[in-house]
Amino acid sequence: MTSLEVMTSLGQPAWSATDDESLNLILSLLHDDARQITFTSKGKGVEGTCSDADLALQLHTEELDRATTYLSDRRMTRSVQGAVQTDIHALLASELQESVARGDRAIAIAQSAGTPHGQTQTPVNTGPSAAELETWNKLKSTYITGSGKVRGDEVSDDRIETMSTEMDSQPESSSWAASRGAFKSHNRPDTFPKLHG
């Protein structure tokens, strides 16, 4: 069963498997045809009534509008995915800085509460949380990248490749945390761990 047959059998429009450039051309030509038919058929029917042909043309135009919206949404989604993949190092560095700032605040609060100097401990950043990794995997999901499983049948579009992500090369959170220790005292080094890349 081809990917087109699988998507059609699941109720997805058959054109959703088409690449963006081809789909844009097809939709443009179909919109032109619909406008031409509308222009040539004006004044040929009884005023105030809607013929079957007029209704069919109206429904056809609405479907073309939905397809155009789908194409626009798909392009935007891929653009967002590409931006996130491009900026993953900056996002991880920002998260690490936020984690350090939270730790510094916890130390300041503990010291102002009178906690002895040597007993102040701050949990270290353990990398991306399970929720963050789950979100990342959803970002790489089938409707964005074009690869994945649907009802046990492989659905793939050879024109759309899953981009390799910087996150794939990151160590797992638990191993990263174990290698750095569960807690560090407030006398931590001033350097950040090197992000892979």
Q: Would residue 101 count as lying in a domain?
A: yes
Q: How far apart are CA 107 and CA 35, in angstroms?
A: 68
* Spatial contact of 194 and 155, defined as CB atoms under 8 Å apart: no
Helix (H, G, I), strand (E, B) or coil at 147: strand
Q: How far apart are CA 94 and CA 144, in angstroms?
A: 25
Q: Would residue 125 count as lying in a domain?
A: no
* Spatial contact of 173 and 99, defined as CB atoms under 8 Å apart: no
Q: Would residue 139 count as lying in a domain?
A: no
Q: Would residue 81 count as lying in a domain?
A: yes
Q: Would residue 110 count as lying in a domain?
A: yes
pLDDT in tens, 2-28: 444 544 455 666 767 778 888 889 999
Average pLDDT, integer, range 55-84: 89
Residue 64 domain boundaries = 16-42+51-114
Q: Would residue 72 count as lying in a domain?
A: yes
How many CB atoms are closer than 10 A to CB 112? Answer: 8
Q: Would residue 153 count as lying in a domain?
A: no
pLDDT in tens, 143-154: 454 444 434 444
Give how many domains the chain has, as a whole number.
Answer: 1
Q: Would residue 27 count as lying in a domain?
A: yes
pTM over 0.85: no
